[in-house]
Amino acid sequence: MKKIGFIGLGIMGRPMAKNLLKKGYALVVTDLNQEAVADLVAHGAESAASVADVAKAVDTMITMLPNSPQVEAVALGANGIADNAKPGSLLIDMSSIAPLAAQKIAAGLKEKGIRMIDAPVSGGEPKAIDATLSIMVGGDAADFAEAKPILDCLGASAVLCGSLGAGNTTKLANQIIVAVNIAAVSEAFTLATKAGVDPQLVFEAIKGGLAGSTVMNAKVPMMLAGNAKPGFKVDLHIKDLNNALDTAKGVDAPSILTQEAMKMLQYLHDNGEGNSDHSAIAHYYEKLAGVEIRPKA
């Protein structure tokens, strides 16, 4: 089966890479975190000393990196993909970055005959682990078709949303909805708690109705348990909303709710919760209300 290069073994990348190994793909991996590399090697992957070594060893690469600058450095920087990959190679960038940055990186790679699609994901660590991510893709239809069997090993759906950059635009729309949904859930369950109604019972009563959502089902149990272990960090959501706000400004789209959600996330960052799960938006409301969202004993 095809050998794939995988660059970036963080919270999301590590379980995604393991799922490709489970499906029979051979992997060549690299990351700054050598413990993560060792973990993948223990599961059957081959390690590479550098991005350049990965690019020389394969004709299909996946990047799963924090933001635009890291992807640009890996793709176009010294000892990166552009200078070392074979012409005709395909880069599947699954990072969540700014759409304009994705287009710039793709243009730089194209000069060297290297193809690229942007394919950011939604679902956080739990869905990365169980391979049920939602994958939003931008790029050429033929490149998407080539990548689709790989993407199907990582997600429950992979949808071509348009030309290159459309995947990340779709991801920004997703991240706006997720942030505002978490904020709405936090506000609602704070209200219930302040009014003396058991939030666990509120959750049971409304989760099957119109207010129910994947976000509610995933995040309310964490809020009720006081669990902020990161499936998706506050600081990463700040990064995404910054990209959303920049994009909204560039296309002259209103961003009222995004700006409000950003204020809440920035408050958490400023108060030491940048590495907490984004469900910690509930802590912002708990601080304002002077209560904790917990079931009654």
Considering 163, 185, 216, which residue would you say is the last residue of a domain?
A: 163
Residues 10 and 137 occupy one common structural domain: yes
Looking at the DSSP bridge assignments, the partners of residue 26 are 3
- Indicate the pTM of the whole model: 0.92
Same domain, 179 and 159: no
Judge if 158 and 175 occupy the same domain: no
The reply to whether 90 falls in a domain is: yes
Query: Could you say which of 141, 163, 185 is where a domain stops?
Result: 163
| Ramachandran area for residue 233 (φ above 0: left; ψ -120 to 50: alpha; else beta) | beta
SS3 of 121, please?
strand
For 107-135, the pLDDT digits (tens) are 999 999 999 999 999 988 999 999 999 99
Report pLDDT digits (tens) over 145-157: 999 999 999 999 9
Structural domain includes residue 296: no
My answer on whether 125 and 216 are in the same domain is no
Which tens digit of pLDDT belongs to each residue from 180-217?
A: 999 999 999 999 999 999 999 999 999 999 999 999 99
Question: Domain check: are 118 and 179 in the same one?
Answer: no
Q: How many domains does the chain have?
A: 2
Q: Are both 93 and 226 inside the same structural domain?
A: no
Domain termination site, one of 110, 129, 163: 163
Residue 285's closest CA among 193, 175, 219?
Answer: 193
Q: How far apart are CA 60 and CA 6, in angstroms?
A: 9
Checking if the pLDDT of 296 tops 90, the result is no
Give the residue numbers spanning the domain of 85: 3-163
Question: Which residues belong to the active site?
Answer: 171
CATH of the domain at 273: 1.10.1040.10
How far lies 31's CA from each of 9, 27, 69, 108, in Å? 6, 13, 16, 23
Tell me: do 68 and 114 sit in the same domain: yes
Cα–Cα distance, 70 to 72 (Å, whole number): 5
